[in-house]
């Protein structure tokens, strides 16, 4: 959208393998500040693992990730040392992560969920943290629910709470791992709306999703992944209307056939 | 949880505070060891006033102490362990019908004999065939476990020997026909059955027993002092007076002391005893007696609770450390923790207690009975608590770790703020249940000289010849002590069931594997 904005995330030659084979092969791409990028692709294509590598929940096998001023590099076969782990830790501070299953802390209220990390990680006082948490809880539209326990919230409310919890750490980038997949269809909209609002405010966001309509409408870029590779990396409308690669075409055709409401 | 631990600690400290003895008097102490459980007529709680320790040896010690201008301090220990207790400096002299034998003399020094006696054979009133020790061949005979009398019966050959730990039980079985003869030291026989119309003593005195006061080999001066006192007490007639009062003056003693004069003192102590034990007591009298021993049980209950709570605090803290080490530490530390857990779980706690109390002092590590008991039980239960914690940690979904780490927490912060608080909720019910079983296992500390509920039950029952009433009493007390914890466990279980709905999301994956992956 803003072609003149400077790159915020630069990923080069990222590789990741598990016991059962190589999941990510030689991934490289760049995201500019304020962009909203959607990652789509068939199940098992490595898109979730990719997202988890960006905040170091999975440590890549080799490659380099730069987020703002922090660069994590790993040569093939390099054993992680204290310095690398420290870099991962600093990188996480720039990144907020939202999970498919919310992963709220069940033993704490919504307010305490949001307050915890600012207090523990940033050393904020209880009052400061409460003020900050209240601000973000209001922002995601959960003002009346601050003292509720996660078990009493709906899926949509839980996911918005999880977004507030991540935002309270003041991240430069927000990552979403299939944020609406666990939700009932009528609750999907409220979560997507929060992401749209954040985009309008200039937050940089990467979303792994199956919501094709949202991906197409809201994204600056769509990344199509298959078999551990980035197949295409395009503006939303261009990718949907003029896919260059056969694999992209096959995926989209299949998807449109099974989800007629996405057809344009 | 933190608060609860503090409260428990405070309670424990409070309890330990109130049993500390008052500061020592100016007089030097004569610390003497014996076993008052079933110890009549040597030393036993006065049936009329269970707080008071009486017995002919108690009288002797008091006379010795008074002659030496010392203050007698009694330390209870199991009879089997009287000599080990001496060498580990629990007390300076041991007296409890200890026979002067070559075996004993290899380990300790003895005073000159203060009493000389023999074995007495007892049979049922209507018994016609058994008149001597040899007649026991082909019959069942009861005696004390691992004693001189057991050895005598073995030498006869062909005797069906039943050994007992509590003397009184032998005579009960004799009256009931479970054994045909009972062979014991004369004082025991006299006080167990001398007044029983169903039992008679037969045959001449058997064997020769010399009782001496045992001391450590190195305490030469003490031995001289004690011998001096005994010579004085013998020559002044004070010892004879004691034996008369307890009805223990026999022809053997007359010969030993070369004193054939008639007794001048009435056997008042023996008469009291016989009076208390002869007929079956009325129900009313029994109830009065139970009421009288309640304060004793009350004090014992406090001891039991102190030991249990202190042990549990040790177990909870060390168990957590072991569990975290086993799950998260380096491979070497983790396997050390595993070895500890398996060793402790695989060996009897009784042996561990003996090892700590009697074994460790020989390498210079010495604990009071209280701390030996609390540490022994604590170290033992820590192994079990560690496994409970471990299962609690594994019950927290891996996704909780990911959420905490993704928020920028370190592994330790995630552990402290997110994982442990949830795991602890899960483990509270099983840990509370463990405490209830620890409360019962604490009865084992009675073997390392602690006078807890179980020991008190033994003492009172042996003193009264009554295992039924005090047995019910002590069972009820254990039950009442455990009840609040039973209720607490049930309450937390219910709360947990309510909270479990919260964790319906997320996969319960092994956090050990996933947490090492974060590294």
Mind telling me how many Å the CA of B419 is from chain A's nearest CA? Answer: 9
Q: Give the model's pLDDT for residue B168.
A: 74
Chain B residue numbers with beta carbons less than 8 Å from the beta carbon of A96 are 406
For B100, the token pair is 């002067």
Facing residue for B425 by CB, picked from A99, A107, A165: A107
Confidence of residue A263 (pLDDT cuts 50, 70, 90): very low
Q: Give the model's pLDDT for residue A9.
A: 92
The residue among B511 and A159 whose pLDDT is bigger is A159
Q: Give the model's pLDDT for residue B447.
A: 83
The residue among A20 and B308 whose pLDDT is bigger is B308
Angle at alpha carbon of residue A33, lines to A103 and A198, rounded to 5°: 50
Rounded mean pLDDT, B196-220: 89
A166: closest chain B residue by CA: B407
A154: closest chain B residue by CA: B502
- Does residue B244 carry a pLDDT above 50? yes
CB contact under 8 A, B506 and A101: yes
* CA A119 to the chain's CA centroid: 23
Q: Which residue has the tokens 């993704």?
A: B406
Q: Which residue has the tokens 């590779």?
A: A229
Q: Give the model's pLDDT for residue A140.
A: 92
Chain B residue numbers with beta carbons less than 8 Å from the beta carbon of A55 are 406
Mean pLDDT of chain B: 84
Nearest to B193 by CA among B133, B118, B277, B262: B277
Q: Measured between alpha carbons, how far is residue A221 from residues A235, B63, B366, B502 in Å?
A: 5, 102, 74, 36
- Does residue B116 carry a pLDDT above 60? yes
Strand A173-177, strand A229-234: pairing: unpaired
Report yes or no: B137 and B131 within 8 Å, Cβ to Cβ: no
- Does residue B498 carry a pLDDT above 80? no
Nearest to B502 by CA among A140, A110, A97, A111: A110
Mind telling me how many Å the CA of B91 is from chain A's nearest CA? Answer: 54
Facing residue for B501 by CB, picked from A80, A120, A151: A151
CB contact under 8 A, B400 and A96: no
Mind telling me how many Å the CA of B400 is from chain A's nearest CA? Answer: 6
Chain A residue numbers with beta carbons less than 8 Å from the beta carbon of B395 are none
CB contact under 8 A, B499 and A165: no
Rounded mean pLDDT, B463-471: 80
Rounded mean pLDDT, A61-76: 92
Q: Which residue has the tokens 């326990």?
A: A149
CB contact under 8 A, A169 and B408: yes
- Does residue B12 carry a pLDDT above 60? no
Mind telling me how many Å the CA of B426 is from chain A's nearest CA? Answer: 11
A15-67 pLDDT, tens digit each: 999 888 888 998 998 999 999 999 998 888 888 899 999 988 889 999 999 99
Chain A residue numbers with beta carbons less than 8 Å from the beta carbon of B405 are 57, 92
Among the listed ranges A1-10, B303-312, B354-363, which one has the minimum average pLDDT value? A1-10
A116: closest chain B residue by CA: B417
Nearest to A180 by CA among A167, A163, A199, A198: A163
Looking at chain B, the whole-number percentage of residues with pLDDT higher than 70 is 89
Rounded mean pLDDT, A161-183: 92
Confidence of residue A163 (pLDDT cuts 50, 70, 90): very high
Mutate to test the interface with B, among A54, A105, A169, A175 (most CBs of B within 10 A): A105
CB contact under 8 A, A117 and B407: yes
**How far is the C-alpha of B299 from the C-alpha of B219, rounded, in Å?**
35
- Does residue B507 carry a pLDDT above 60? no
Confidence of residue B156 (pLDDT cuts 50, 70, 90): confident
Confidence of residue B510 (pLDDT cuts 50, 70, 90): very low
A80-98 pLDDT, tens digit each: 888 998 899 889 888 999 9
Mutate to test the interface with A, among B398, B400, B408 (most CBs of A within 10 A): B408
- Angle between helix axes A155-167 and A185-200 (nearest 10 degrees) is 20
B44-69 pLDDT, tens digit each: 888 777 778 899 999 999 999 999 99
- Does residue B235 carry a pLDDT above 50? yes
Chain A residue numbers with beta carbons less than 8 Å from the beta carbon of B421 are 107
Facing residue for B399 by CB, picked from A85, A99, A107: A99
Facing residue for A85 by CB, picked from B404, B406, B519: B519
Q: Give the model's pLDDT for residue B23.
A: 44
Q: Give the model's pLDDT for residue B265.
A: 85
Q: Give the model's pLDDT for residue B20.
A: 42
**How far is the C-alpha of B63 from the C-alpha of A104, rounded, in Å?**
76
Report yes or no: A253 and A247 within 8 Å, Cβ to Cβ: no
Chain B residue numbers with beta carbons less than 8 Å from the beta carbon of A104 are 403
Q: For residue A65, what are the β-bridge partners?
A: A11, A72
Chain A residue numbers with beta carbons less than 8 Å from the beta carbon of B407 are 92, 97, 116-117, 121, 165-166, 169
Q: Give the model's pLDDT for residue B11.
A: 52
Range from A18-32, A246-260, B303-317 that averages highest in pLDDT: B303-317
Facing residue for B407 by CB, picked from A58, A149, A169: A169
- H or E segment at A214? helix A212-218
Q: Give the model's pLDDT for residue B1.
A: 47
CB contact under 8 A, B418 and A149: no
Residues 57-76 of A with CB under 8 A from B: 57-59
Which regions of B157-314 does DSSP assign to beta strands (E)? 160-164, 181-185, 199-211, 214-215
Q: Give the model's pLDDT for residue B515.
A: 36
Phi and psi based region of residue A103 (left: phi greater than 0; alpha: psi -120 to 50; beta: remaining): left
The residue among B176 and B510 whose pLDDT is bigger is B176
Among the listed ranges B3-17, B224-238, B281-295, which one has the minimum average pLDDT value? B3-17
Chain A residue numbers with beta carbons less than 8 Å from the beta carbon of B401 are none
**How far is the C-alpha of B303 from the C-alpha of B318, rounded, in Å?**
22
Residue-wise DSSP of B258-276: T--PPP-S--HHHHHHHHH
Q: Give the model's pLDDT for residue B513.
A: 36
Q: Give the model's pLDDT for residue B290.
A: 85
CB contact under 8 A, A95 and B505: no
A115: closest chain B residue by CA: B407
Q: What is the DSSP letter of B90?
A: S
Q: Which residue has the tokens 């912060």?
A: B413
The residue among A211 and A103 whose pLDDT is bigger is A103
Nearest to A39 by CA among A210, A245, A188: A210
CB contact under 8 A, A149 and B518: no
- Does residue B343 carry a pLDDT above 90? yes
Q: Give the model's pLDDT for residue B4.
A: 53
CB contact under 8 A, A166 and B421: no
């Amino acid at each position: 959208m803003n072609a003149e904005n400077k790159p915020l995330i630069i990923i080069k030659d990222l590789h990741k393998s598990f016991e059962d084979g190589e999941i990510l092969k030689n991934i490289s791409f760049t995201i500019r500040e304020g962009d909203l990028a959607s990652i789509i692709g068939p199940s098992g294509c490595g898109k979730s693992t990719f997202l988890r590598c960006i905040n170091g929940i999975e440590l890549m096998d080799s490659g380099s990730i730069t987020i703002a001023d922090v660069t994590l590099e790993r040569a093939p076969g390099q054993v992680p040392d204290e310095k690398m782990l420290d870099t991962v830790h600093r990188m996480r501070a720039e990144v907020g992560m939202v999970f498919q299953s919310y992963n709220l802390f069940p033993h704490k209220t919504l307010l305490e969920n949001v307050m915890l990390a600012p207090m523990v990680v940033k050393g904020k006082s209880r009052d400061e943290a409460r003020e900050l948490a209240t601000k973000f809880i209001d922002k995601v539209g959960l003002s009346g629910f601050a003292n509720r326990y996660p078990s009493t919230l709906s899926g949509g409310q839980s996911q918005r709470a999880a977004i507030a919890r991540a935002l309270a750490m003041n991240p430069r980038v927000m990552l979403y791992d299939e944020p609406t997949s666990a939700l009932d269809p009528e609750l999907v909209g409220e979560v997507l709306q929060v992401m749209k609002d954040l985009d309008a405010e200039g937050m940089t966001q990467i979303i792994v999703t199956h919501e094709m309509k949202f991906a197409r409408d809201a994204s600056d870029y769509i990344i199509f992944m298959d078999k551990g590779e980035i197949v295409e990396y395009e503006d939303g409308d261009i990718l949907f209307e003029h896919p260059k690669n056969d694999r992209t075409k096959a995926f989209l055709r299949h998807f449109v056939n099974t989800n007629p409401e996405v057809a344009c | 949880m933190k608060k609860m631990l503090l409260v428990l600690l405070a309670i424990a400290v409070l309890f330990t505070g109130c049993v500390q003895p008052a500061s020592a008097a100016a007089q030097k102490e004569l610390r003497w060891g014996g076993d008052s459980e079933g110890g009549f007529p040597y030393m036993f709680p006065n049936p009329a006033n269970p707080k008071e320790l009486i017995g002919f040896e108690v009288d002797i010690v008091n006379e010795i102490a008074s002659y030496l201008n010392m203050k007698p301090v009694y330390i209870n220990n199991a009879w089997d362990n009287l000599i080990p207790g001496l060498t580990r400096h629990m007390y300076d002299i041991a007296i409890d019908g200890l026979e002067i034998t070559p075996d004993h003399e290899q380990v300790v020094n003895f005073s000159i004999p203060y009493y000389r006696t023999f074995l007495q054979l007892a049979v049922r009133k209507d018994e016609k065939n058994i008149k001597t020790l040899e007649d026991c061949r082909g019959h069942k005979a009861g005696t004390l476990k691992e004693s001189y009398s057991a050895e005598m019966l073995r030498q006869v050959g062909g005797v069906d020997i039943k050994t007992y730990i509590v003397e009184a039980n032998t005579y009960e079985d004799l009256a009931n026909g479970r054994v045909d003869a009972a062979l014991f030291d004369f004082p025991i026989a006299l006080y167990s059955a001398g007044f029983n119309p169903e039992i008679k003593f037969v045959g001449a005195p058997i064997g020769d027993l010399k009782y001496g006061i045992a001391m450590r080999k190195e305490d030469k001066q003490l031995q001289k002092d004690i011998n001096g006192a005994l010579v004085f007490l013998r020559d002044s007639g004070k010892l004879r007076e004691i034996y008369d009062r307890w009805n223990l003056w026999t022809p053997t003693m007359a010969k030993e002391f070369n004193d054939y004069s008639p007794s001048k003192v009435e056997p008042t102590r023996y008469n009291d005893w016989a009076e208390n034990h002869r007929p079956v007591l009325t129900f009313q009298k029994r109830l009065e007696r139970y009421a009288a021993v309640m304060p004793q049980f009350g004090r014992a209950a406090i001891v039991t609770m102190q030991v249990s709570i202190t042990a549990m605090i040790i177990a909870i803290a060390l168990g957590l450390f072991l569990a975290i080490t086993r799950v998260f530490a380096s491979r070497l530390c983790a396997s050390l923790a595993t070895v500890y857990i398996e060793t402790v779980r695989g060996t009897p706690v009784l042996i561990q207690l003996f090892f700590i109390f009697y074994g460790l002092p020989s390498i210079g590590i010495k604990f009071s009975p209280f701390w030996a008991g609390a540490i022994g039980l604590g170290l033992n239960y820590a192994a079990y608590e560690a496994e409970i914690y471990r299962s609690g940690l594994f019950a927290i979904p891996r996704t909780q770790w990911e959420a905490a780490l993704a928020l920028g927490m370190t592994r330790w912060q995630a552990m402290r703020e997110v994982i442990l608080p949830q795991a602890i909720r899960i483990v509270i019910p099983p840990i509370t249940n463990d405490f209830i079983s620890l409360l019962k296992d604490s009865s084992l500390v009675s073997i390392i000289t602690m006078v807890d509920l179980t020991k008190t039950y033994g003492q009172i029952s042996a003193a009264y010849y009554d295992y039924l009433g005090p047995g019910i009493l002590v069972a009820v007390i254990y039950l009442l002590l455990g009840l609040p914890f039973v209720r607490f466990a049930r309450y937390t279980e219910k709360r947990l069931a309510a909270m479990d709905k919260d964790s319906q999301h997320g996969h319960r994956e092994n956090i050990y594997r996933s947490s090492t992956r974060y590294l």
